[in-house]
Chains A and B, each alone.
Chain A
Amino acid sequence: MAKLLADDFNTGVIGERLNVYSPDWPKYGFAAGNMVISATNGIENAEGAGGSVASNYRADLVLPSADYSVSADVISGTSIIGVIARVSLSASTFYQARLNGYGTIELARSVNGAFTTMVSAPTNRTTQAKYRLRLECKDSQISVYLDDAATPLLTATSTHITTAGKAGVRSGPGSGYIDNFSIDTIDSVEGISASLNATLAEAISSSSANLQVEGVLVSELAAVILEMSGTLESKVSLVKTLAPATLTAAAYIEIEPPAPDGIEVALLSTLSAATLAAAASLAVNGVLSSTLAGPTLVAAARTSTAFDILRLHPARVVRFGGSGSRVVVFEGSGSRVVVFEGSGKRIRINEMDVKVPIKDGEKWKVERDRDEISYYAADITNELRDRNTTAVESAVIPLTYGVELLEGPEVQVATVEGVERTFVVVKLGDVDGELPDDWRWVARVPCANGERFDKTTWFSEVDP
């Protein structure tokens, strides 16, 4: 949002007409009264209770498009008073956000002088009060925001006035004041620190822009475009429809971005027909219960649950020294990823409630519930480095003993603390019947130099 114009009327002389105060504020031709500099608050209608409607507009500002917002502090009194946008100079035609006396906030339109109140809400005030009104026009979506709220109080769809026109102020007879007038663009949305309840349909969050929602994202995002490295982050549940949102290039939707503790949030949103292009990723650390029917995943785009956290947020992976020769655990919504480093240090995900490996003889074991379904990542970085070679990804074989292989294997690379590490990732299921003595899974890794090695993860049974 960029400011196009601001005026606090502080340089005016009390009682001076607004069009005298500045020639950039001419009278609007469809109102007989006069706005003047107020002794107390900005400007007011000079005519008093028995006079005429007063209206002025900013003549100097050529608005870059019909999509912009007009804001002002408006003090209610007995008049109908507010800001106007898309003002036609050839007819009494405009949109208006206004206070109607003490009791009502209205979004109205005047088309050739016929006033229609489209949307209205009570103020629940019975005495004079100051409100910050923002009238926002975006395509056919006309909205009124109150007191700099993140979400509109009033919204209407109207195609009656589509040209940019001018922006200004308007006051009926009676008491009421306008101060701190401004005109702003509405070309981007970013850094929303409260809950986002607004409709963002067809909004464009452009290159590198972040749409970050600290609270609940409950907004309609249909047709929203997140371009390039744009990010949609929601720190709590994302519960709204995203269809048919388009995420291009490296854009990604992230639910619950990096945080030191367990991740319990869920993606409940419909992504039907969403397009994730190029390297876009959809990372869901919590439950993915959304409809994904029909999404288009292009090029390297992927949806992922638990283990992609290694790739997307390697900073969350913390290695720490000690006697543990391997390990790690990553838990989220019932799934966990266990990463065996192989030698040296353990890795864990920050302060998560990890299951620490236990040394049993010469084996480091990970406690596992027999009904557990988890991701396991075997870190083969050191083995490859020792051999000065690479893995033949297509030939990697998972060997399972007493546990069902559900997915994988897949060779993944993640940069952890500045070091690029290679993992073999599988998803393992539960156990039928008796556990074997050598309950384990093995990543058998053929190398490009013709060698082969096994990386074994041992399990010990534990009740959930």
Chain B
Amino acid sequence: MKRFYLAPTIGDGSEEDSFRPAIANYSVAYASWMPDVPVFGKMVLVEVATNDHSGLLADAQFSVLPAYPVDLQVSSMNSGDYSGLVDTLNEYAIPDSAIGGSYWDTLVAISVFLNEQARYGKAAR
């Protein structure tokens, strides 16, 4: 099952300690939307494919996003998940304007904000 997370960036950019999401410390397959210029500690959007998310869900440094198909319109989310998404994004100084259209559109908007934050040093956590 695939789920999306916000996770802090770890590593120093060296070959042996490359920039990567902290999720890399778990033995799971992931694809990260790393910023153009990664920065240690900044949040990054990560897609994780695993049958067991329990370890990640229990790790307080990660914020899991609602589990919906990416082509679903976010307006179709149930109110609890929608407000939870708003709260999660606000926690990382991502404005509500990132939420709109399909869930995929929203994920793209989130990654754009996180990229800007990494590049220009805006607020992360």
A-B contact count (CB 8 A): 54
- Please determine whether B28 and A114 come into contact, CB atoms closer than 8 angstroms: no
Q: Is the CB of A103 within 8 A of B18?
A: no
Q: What residue of chain B has the Cβ atom nearest to residue A92's Cβ?
A: B15
The residues in A between 138 and 155 inclusive whose CB is less than 8 angstroms from any CB of B are 154-155
What is the interface of chain B mostly: helix, strand, loop, or mixed?
Answer: loop
Chain A contacts for B36, CB-based, 8 A = 160
Question: Would A114 and B13 count as touching, CB distance under 8 A?
Answer: yes
Task: Known contacts A115-B14, A116-B13, A120-B24; decide if A155 and B19 are in contact (CB<8 Å).
Answer: no
A108 to B34 Cα, complex, angstroms: 11
Closest CB of chain A to B20's CB: distance in Å? 4
A259 interface residue per 8 A CB criterion = no
Within 8 A of A (CB), among B7-41: 11, 13-16, 18-20, 24, 27-32, 34, 36-38
Contact A117 B20 (CB under 8 A): yes
Is A194 in the interface zone, CB < 8 Å from B?
Answer: no
Q: Is the CB of B38 within 8 A of A80?
A: no
Residue numbers in A under 8 Å from B27 (CB-CB): 103, 122, 124
A116–B15 alpha-carbon span in the complex (Å): 8
CB distance from B10 to the nearest CB of A (A): 10
B30: which A residues are within 8 A, CB to CB? 119-121
Partner of B31, one of A110, A116, A155: A155
Contact yes or no, B18 A117, CB < 8 A: yes
Q: Which residues of B contact A114 (CB under 8 A)?
A: 13, 19, 37-38
- Chain A's closest residue to B31 (CB) is A119
Contact of B34 among A118, A124, A154 (CB under 8 A): A118
Residues of chain B contacted by A116 (CB below 8 angstroms): 13, 18-20, 34, 38
Q: Does A172 contact B (CB under 8 A)?
A: yes
**In this assembly, does A299 line the interface, its C-beta being within 8 Å of a C-beta of chain B?**
no
Q: Which residues on the B side are within 8 Å of A80 (C-beta)?
A: 15-16
Chain A residues within an 8 Å CB radius of B34:
116-118
- Asked if A53 is an interface residue, CB under 8 A from chain B, the answer is yes
- The reply to whether A119 and B15 form a contact with Cβ atoms under 8 Å apart is no
CA distance A154 to B24 in the complex (A): 14
In whole angstroms, how far apart are the Cα atoms of A115 and B18 in the complex?
5
Question: Which one of A117, A122, A155 lies within 8 Å of B28 (CB-CB)?
Answer: A122
For A121, the chain B residues whose CB sits under 8 A away are 29-30
* CA distance in complex: A121, B24 (Å): 9
Asked whether any CB of chain B lies closer than 8 Å to the CB of A156, the reply is yes
B31: which A residues are within 8 A, CB to CB? 118-119, 154-156
Q: Contact check: which of A118, A124, A172 meets B15 at CB < 8 Å?
A: A172
**Chain A 52-83 against B: per-residue CB contact (8 Å), 1 yes, 0 no?**
01000000000000000000000000001000
Q: B29–A108 contact, CB under 8 A?
A: no
Chain B residues lying within 8 Å of A160, measured Cβ to Cβ, are 36
CB pair A120–B20 under 8 Å, yes or no, is yes
In the complex the two chains form, is B29's CB within 8 Å of A115's CB?
no
Nearest-CB residue, chain B, relative to A103: B27
Enumerate chain A residues within 8 angstroms of B14, measured Cβ to Cβ. Answer: 115
Closest to A170 in B: B15
Min distance, Cβ B50 to any Cβ of chain A, angstroms: 9
CA distance A53 to B19 in the complex (A): 18
Shortest Cβ gap from A92 to chain B (Å): 9
CA A113 – CA B30 in complex, angstroms? Answer: 23
In the complex, what distance in Å separates the CA atom of A156 from the CA atom of B14? 20
Chain A residues with Cβ below 8 Å from B37 are: 114
> In the complex, A362 Cα to B18 Cα: how many Å?
85
Binding site for A on B (CB under 8 A): 11, 13-16, 18-20, 24, 27-32, 34, 36-38
Not counting A113-B13, A116-B18, A119-B31, a sample of 7 additional A-B residue pairs whose C-beta atoms are within 8 angstroms of each other reads A110-B15, A115-B14, A116-B19, A116-B20, A117-B11, A117-B19, A118-B32
Q: Top 3 nearest A-B pairs by Cβ distance?
A: A115-B18, A121-B29, A117-B20
* 9 pairs, CB–CB < 8 Å, chain A vs chain B: A53-B15, A113-B13, A115-B11, A116-B34, A117-B34, A122-B28, A154-B31, A155-B31, A160-B36
